[in-house]
Structures are given as structure tokens and as C-alpha cells.
Amino acid sequence: MGEHHAGVNPALLFPLIDRHTHLEGSLDPGWVHLASDRRGLALPASLQSLWSGAAVPFEGFIEAFLFGAALLDSREAVREAALAVARRTRQAGGAGFDLWASPHFLVVHRKQITLDAFWRGLEEGLAEARSWGLHSCVVVDAVNHFGPSHGQAVLDLVLPGLPPFVKGFSTGGLEGCPFRDWAPIFERARAAGLRIAAHAGENGPGSNVREAVLEGDVSRIVHGLRADDATLELLAERRIPVDVCPSSNRALAADVDPHPLPRMLRVGVRCALGTDDPGVIPCDLGTEAAAARRMGLDDAALATLQQNGAEDAWCLLGEDSLPSALQSSGMPDSGPSR
């Protein structure tokens, strides 16, 4: 399994980070089979279609995603989910990940786990990942289309006793609620020391990207696929990082073709690669780099993606310096084969 390192480009002096992946969407398919059998649950057709590489409507993706989320009903299951992310990252030669998670959905909406068990499961999984040399942090995700009162409820839940590994707050789901309405929630999260991201321009119009930046004052965009040229210039000018996830985008935003990543990089947008929901839409950091190459990106562009991926990663915040992060990631010889 050393091939990821054998061919390493000396220009890639930065640790490889999975810049966007969801806890609930990253479960190992083998574990999902076992856990659903144990609960007497049948796998939804949408999940099986996505595993086979088929495109499904966004609603079908949500069904598959929520099926996995429903399995996270104990500390052990949450720990296993975090470890699934860590294993996939390590096997692809990655050094860390920024992990989105939706505690409010599991704890309050579904009432399937206590907040304490959720945090403990995450803490245990991330501690084990750390012992493998992997960097990580958590971004709490709120559901955009549930609206601002839901956003406040998410913060009410997580802000008291917030674990130190939580570095950010984000919106996800359907882009159904204008970002100007989310601005007060973002402000409250920021005041509590969190950084703000938003899924924007994925299943909603490109104008959402501009609005998230100008009215929501978010410091990071997830996807941003439908942004127009003027908005890309705005993102470049303000150095707003954009997490791009080619496999997920192909499955969930198939109408955006060609993929805008090369255009984004050309105007100087600080893009980086992430896997989004690799337990639902099979991929890893290697498939995402290969997808970027198929878009016509060369070694230099791939190196830029990796550099941006490390420089803007929230999981490396507070690390002394990127070179030391590089050292502690164990490259080049603590790869996947342990």
C-alpha cells in the first residue's frame, strides 16, 4: 500500500487534508450492513443505487444519508463512524480531516443518543485517529432549510460544554433559507469562538454563494459550484476557501457540467478537495485527485489544491507550523499499512 508515497511529488510539501467530510455520510459500508442487519432494517434503494455509482435526486441522497445517521445511536457507533473517516483518510495517504457532524439531528430531532454519548464517541474516535498521526476537528452542521430557529436550537444544544475539538459551525441540507436570515446565528456562533462555513451554490443558485459571503459573513464555502464569474472574483479577492468534492458534485449536482474547479483555480479561488459523503457516494482523497486530473488539472494545480487544503484547514489550526504538522503526520513512512 506504499504506492501513495512512492509517487509523491516533491512539490507537495503540505500535508494532504480531507477538507470536507460528514460523520454521518462516511460510514464504512460493511459496518452499515452489519448495523442495519442487527436492527432488522432493510437498506434503502437510494443507498444501494449510490453505492453502485448511480446519480439520484438530492432527496434520494438525503434518504440514504439519514439511514446512516439513524445507525449512530450509541457512543460506540459514533466512535466507529469517526474511525471510518480516519481509516479512509489514512488509506488514501491523508494526514487529517475537517469533519462535519450533526449532533442536533441525532440528539434532539431523533432522540437516538445523548449529547454526552455523542461527544464521547467522537472524542474517542478522534483520539485514536490522533494516535495514528491524523489531525482532525469537528464542524457542527445545522440544516439550512429548517431555518434560523433551528440554527439557534443547534447552538443552544452545543455551546454549553463545547468540546475543544469543535472549531466551526456550518449550514448544510437544502439551501432553502436566505443567508441573511442566518446572519444572527452565524454572529452568535462566531462570538462563541467558532468559524463559519456554509454549503452554498450546490443545490441552490449561485447567488447564494455571494449572499453567504456578503450577508452571512461566512469565512468558508462548501461546493460553491454555481457561483458566477463575479462571485468567483469576490471569493478570490477575499481569500475565502472553497471545499470542492468532485464525486459528490457529480452525483448530486450532475447538471453543473463541466465542473467549475479549473475555472475557480484560474481566477485564484482558494479551492481544496474533500470527500463529502464517501460512505454514501464511494470515494476517497485519491479518487478526488484523479477526478481533478480528469478535469485537465496538472501537477502544479494539484499541488495548489493540496497546499490550500492544508493552509486553510481548520484541523491544523493551533498547530505550531505546517512543517511540524507535516512531520507529525508521519509522511512518508507511516502510511496506510499498519
Least distance to Zn ion, CB of residue 10, Å:
32
Q: Which is nearer to Zn ion, 47 or 117 (CB)?
A: 47
Least distance to Zn ion, CB of residue 299, Å:
27
Is the CB of residue 148 less than 8 Å from the CB of residue 215?
A: no
What secondary structure letter does DSSP report for 154? Answer: H
Least distance to Zn ion, CB of residue 273, Å:
13
Q: Which is nearer to Zn ion, 26 or 307 (CB)?
A: 26
Q: List Cβ neighbours of 86 (8 Å cut-off, separation of 6 or more).
A: 97, 125, 126, 128, 129, 132, 134, 136
Select the span of 35-43, 162-170, 273-281, 291-299 touching Zn ion (CB under 5 A). 273-281
3-state secondary structure of 66: helix
Q: Which is nearer to Zn ion, 249 or 328 (CB)?
A: 249
Tell how far CA 249 is from the center of its chain: 13
Q: Which is nearer to Zn ion, 123 or 276 (CB)?
A: 276
Q: Does 288 bind Zn ion (CB under 5 A)?
A: no
Select the span of 60-68, 161-169, 275-283, 317-325 touching Zn ion (CB under 5 A). 275-283
- Site residues for Zn ion, 42-61, by CB under 5 A, read none
CA distance 92 to 125: 18
Least distance to Zn ion, CB of residue 70, Å:
18
Rg (the chain; Cα; Å): 18
Select the span of 154-162, 276-284, 292-300, 313-321 touching Zn ion (CB under 5 A). 276-284
One-letter amino acid identity for 102?
S
**Cell 449536482, located at residue:** 253
Least distance to Zn ion, CB of residue 222, Å:
5
3-state secondary structure of 228: coil
Q: Which is nearer to Zn ion, 211 or 276 (CB)?
A: 276
Select the span of 2-10, 47-55, 121-129, 272-280 touching Zn ion (CB under 5 A). 272-280
Residues 18, 28, 276, 288: which binds Zn ion (CB under 5 A)? 276
Q: Which is nearer to Zn ion, 78 or 280 (CB)?
A: 280
CA distance 218 to 151: 15
Query: Beta strand pairing status for 96-101 and 195-200?
Result: unpaired
Respond yes or no on whether the N-terminal peptide bond of residue 178 is cis (omega within 30° of 0).
no
Is the CB of residue 308 less than 8 Å from the CB of residue 279?
A: no
Least distance to Zn ion, CB of residue 20, Å:
6
Q: Which is nearer to Zn ion, 117 or 143 (CB)?
A: 143
Strands across the sheet containing 166-172 = 17-22, 96-101, 135-143, 166-172, 195-200, 220-223, 242-244, 271-273
Binding site for Zn ion (CB under 5 A): 276
